[in-house]
Amino acid sequence: MDKQAVFAEVANVEERIGELYAQVGSLKRKIVELIEENQKLTMENAKLRKILDQLHPEEQVHPGDGYDNLARIYHDGFHVCHVRFGSLRTDGDCLFCLSLLNKTG
Ligand SMILES: [Zn+2]
């Protein structure tokens, strides 16, 4: 086997390992950035939810339930009214639910 060729190959592998090492470092920095951004967004989200709850205190029992969510839950067969929230609708349409959905929508 040609010694020169072996040395050249080793040098080549060394160079590639160096590049991979740099790539790993760069990925690590990106992961840290993403974790920090996620943490900031989580905190911002909590802050905004708190403000939203203060603006609509009557909806505090189920924060974050937008109209679409409620309508979907209702159409899936559950009550969304305050009277029976979350229980299965066994008697067809519920007037309390419908009036809530009409009000919210
Ligand atoms: Zn209902």
pLDDT in tens, 35-85: 888 887 887 887 788 787 777 766 555 545 567 778 888 888 888 888 888
CA of 69 relative to ligand 1 center, distance in Å? 15
Domain locations along the chain = 1-55, 59-105
Annotated binding site: 79, 81, 94, 97
Report the mean per-residue pLDDT for the chain: 84
Q: 74 C-alpha to center of ligand 1: Å? A: 8
Band the pLDDT of 104: cuts 50, 70, 90: low
Q: How far is CA 31 from CA 26, 38, 45, in A?
A: 9, 10, 21
Cα of 62 from ligand 1 centre, angstroms: 15
* Interaxial angle between packed helices 67-75 and 95-104, expressed in degrees from 0 to 180 and rounded to the nearest 10: 150
Specify the range with the lowest mean pLDDT, choosing from 26-35, 59-68, 82-91: 59-68
Count of Cβ atoms closer than 10 Å to residue 23 Cβ: 10
Annotated binding site for Zn(2+): 79, 81, 94, 97
